[in-house]
Amino acid sequence: MKYDVVIKNGTIIDPKRKKSTIANIGILNGKIRAITREDMEGNIELDVRGKTVCPGIIDIHAHVEGDLDCARVLAAMGVTTVYNGNCGMSPENIKEFYNKYDSFLINQIEQIGHTTLREQVGVTDRYKSSSDEEVEKMKVILEEAFEFGVSGLSFGLEYVPGSSRKEVLELAKVAAQYGKLVSIHTRSDSYGGLSSLREAIDITRKTGAAVNISHLTYQFGMGMATEALHMIEEALAEGLDISVDSGMYSGFATSIGSAVFDEGCIEKWGCDYSSLIAGTGKYKGKRLTKEIYEELRRNYPDDTVIGMVGEEYEVFEILEKPYVMVSTDAGTLYDAGVPGHPQDAGTYPKFFKTMVREQHRITLIDAIRRCTYMPAKRLGLINKGFIGVGADADILIFDAKIIEDRADYPCFGATDTRPESIEYVFVNGVITVKGKEVLDISAGKTIKDKCLMWNWEQ
């Protein structure tokens, strides 16, 4: 048999079986069709001796939403699938989105956002709770979205602080009914946010919905990570269906006009204005003053600002936990095609370099598992996240000995510099990245979910 692509002599890591071996992979029609040490013939043959061959990365927390600039940056570090619609924000017209991005550079999966639902029923004041009638309307839209193929429901409660707990639980009940994942950006961060972590955990306790807690470092990596992790571990010990994602950076990014940067945030974080850095716009790369903060809030609310308020050591404390998946939070506002934060271009190479090679906190197999098989399993992607016959040929090939992130915060360097040692990236059997070149190929698909009533076997 002649294959479309043959990958020869690579060190294959399969995170599903937790095995590593040297072998050849034959790809045909977008699938892995053979894994063997026999010689195989392909239209394209790649000898990757000494390089790591693993599943493509599945980013469980992203905001790509069809943005090609963002997708290119993510693809360059090995991302092949993204889970969009996080933090309560999703495309306004989900059917239109699916039609427009039926094919794309990488695979996309969509959630529907609570904030988007609120806006669709006319609740535009983020400090206002929804009425019972508005909640009922949201539930109808939510159910329609699930029937159309949306994979989950997301909350960005810190962005809409007026949301009532009742509306959150009512919507989560609909997600639970269909076995859909509920992703939660908690209502607050820092020490005051620990009670909002309890609120997130209580969603699964009260409704049965599976819950994923978003970017834990950005919410609780400010000196209270140990307490947050303890609360999560208690919930896991109770048997609650909880998962967690977190990133590699201690400084978060979002729009300056959001509720996250409301008056009082400086006091809450125990910092001063110079701890805030403009990621996009006229002050890009500059540290804020009180005057610049007020100007941006007033005149440029959509500009990205980075809050350098986290503790670096807590990034590692969180990511050492075996139940934590790695995520980027990518897509947080772009300026002329350039991200406002290095997370979009550096997260996964930084994870492999720091956690595995430099600090020896986890093994390479475990690191790959956190970025591939774990999110695939959480999202119900039965053909992704592993290396095996029949799996989708989403594949990353890199040199584990030298992989390194190059992107930096905008006050120190470029946020979009591509990493070292990414050799090839395949999406559905098609080469989309070759060295530092991202090929303009729409090999990815928009993945729809089935809409079935939950049952215990799920």
Alpha carbon of residue 314 to chain centroid:
19
Asked if residue 452 belongs to a domain, the reply is no
Is 413 inside a domain boundary?
no
Residue 329 lies inside a defined structural domain of this protein: yes
Among 292, 388, 350, 317, which residue's Cα sits nearest to residue 17? 388
Token representation of residue 323: 């139940």
Q: What pLDDT, on the 0 to 100 scale, is given for residue 213? A: 98
Indicate whether this model's pTM tops 0.85: yes
Residue 218 burial (CB count, 10 A) = 29
Residue 15 domain flag: yes
37 and 128 share one domain: no
pLDDT in tens, 20-50: 999 999 999 999 999 999 999 999 999 999 9
Digit-coded pLDDT (tens) for 89-121: 999 999 999 999 999 999 999 999 999 999 999
- pLDDT exceeds 80 at position 447: yes
Share of the chain above pLDDT 70, in %: 100
| Structural domain span for residue 45 | 2-55+392-401+419-440
Outline where 352-419 has alpha helix (H).
364-371, 373-378
Sheet strand arrangement including 304-307: 252-255, 304-307, 276-278
β-pair partners for 150: none
Considering the domain architecture, whether residues 91 and 50 belong to the same structural domain is answered as no
Residues 277 and 148 in one domain: no
In-domain check, residue 454: no
263: buried, middle or exposed (CB in 10 Å: 19+, 13-18, 0-12)? exposed
**131: number of Cβ within 10 Å:** 14
268 & 173 share domain? no
**Mean pLDDT to the nearest integer, 425-452:** 96
- Decide: helix, strand or coil at residue 19: strand
Residue 226: other Cβ atoms inside 10 A: 12
Interhelix angle 194-207/225-237, nearest 10 degrees: 10
457 pLDDT tier (thresholds 50, 70, 90) = confident
Q: Do 100 and 43 share a structural domain? A: no
Is the dihedral angle over the CA atoms 146, 150, 152, 155 positive or is it negative?
Answer: negative
Report the domain count for the chain: 3
